[in-house]
A = this chain, B = another copy of it.
């Protein structure tokens, strides 16, 4: 059966996360309703990443199978009209029959944004974590580099994360500074629950001197979540892109 891939941007602030829930507005819920309306039959949408409540995306992907050939441009326009203003379907394409947005994914790129100044931002506040304390950016960059590679990330996951294997590979962790905005780019093959937000919270806590300089090493050695920093707020996190072969 033909399989279609969607690329999706959304304002996470408006939703209780990606995954469909009975009594809450979710991105998957809105999109499945929009698809039902556009295609006149229910479809199951498989998302690449189950983003948390409040987390944004510019490049979330999702897939569904459908027995007929569809006009992809027209479907994208319909889905935008049916799910605006807080969700936009930026692309629809026909992909191979064996494509699955979640299980075919080879990696993901997230950005965690930190606004590092005393004043909050009326224009960019919805996309960043406002940290007024001064930060040791050089030290944060050294610690970010320590995260790259294949490690056990048991110290960087939510308490209720149920994965048995905590080994994950990060291919790139870097901090891009533009004025008072720090963008923590994190690329990896797969992620544990809240992993990027705990990485961001830990780097910020190290940068402001609330955690020791050797925290990353200690976390890899002990796998002890209580020695990491806070889980940084959801609003700072944006899923930028999902990679496929």
Stretch among A61-69, A117-125, A136-144 lining the B interface:
A117-125
When distances are taken between beta carbons in the complex, the residues of chain B under 8 Å from A85 are: 120, 122, 125
On whether A58 and B90 interact (CB within 8 A), knowing A76-B118, A77-B118, A118-B76, the answer reads: no
Q: Are A90 and B76 in contact (CB under 8 A)?
A: no
What is the distance, in angstroms, from A232's C-beta to the closest C-beta of chain B?
18
* CB of A209, distance to nearest CB on chain B (Å): 20
A175 within 8 Å of B (CB atoms): no
* Contact digits for A199-216, partner B, Cβ 8 Å, 1 yes 0 no: 000000000000000000
Residues on the B chain within 8 Å of A73, using CB: 118
| Chain A contact residues: helix, strand, loop or mixed | mixed
User: Please, which residues of chain B bring their CB within 8 A of the CB of A119?
Assistant: 9, 76, 80, 88-90
Tell whether, in the assembled complex, residue B122 and residue A10 are in contact, meaning their CB atoms are under 8 Å apart: yes
Q: Which residues of the other chain, B, contact A76 by a CB distance below 8 angstroms? A: 118-119
Q: Distance in Å from the Cβ of A72 to the closest Cβ of chain B?
A: 11
Distance, CA A85 to CA B235, complexed state (A): 16
Is A28 part of the contact surface with B, judged by Cβ < 8 Å?
Answer: no
Residues on B with C-beta less than 8 A from A31 are none
Chain B residues near A87: list those with CB within 8 A. 122
Contacts of A167 in B (CB 8 A): none
Contact of B56 with A86 in the complex, beta carbons under 8 Å: no
Is residue A84 contacting chain B, with contact meaning CB distance below 8 A?
Answer: yes
Cα A218 to Cα B81 with chains together (Å): 39
Chain B residues near A10 (CB-CB < 8 A): 122-123
- A127 located at the interface, meaning its Cβ lies under 8 Å from any Cβ of chain B in the complex: yes
Interface residues of A (CB under 8 A from B): 9-11, 56, 58, 73, 76-77, 80, 84-90, 117-123, 125, 127, 238
- 16 A-B pairs besides A11-B123, A84-B122 with CB distance below 8 A are A9-B122, A10-B122, A73-B118, A76-B118, A76-B119, A80-B119, A80-B120, A84-B120, A85-B120, A85-B125, A88-B119, A88-B122, A90-B117, A90-B119, A123-B127, A123-B238
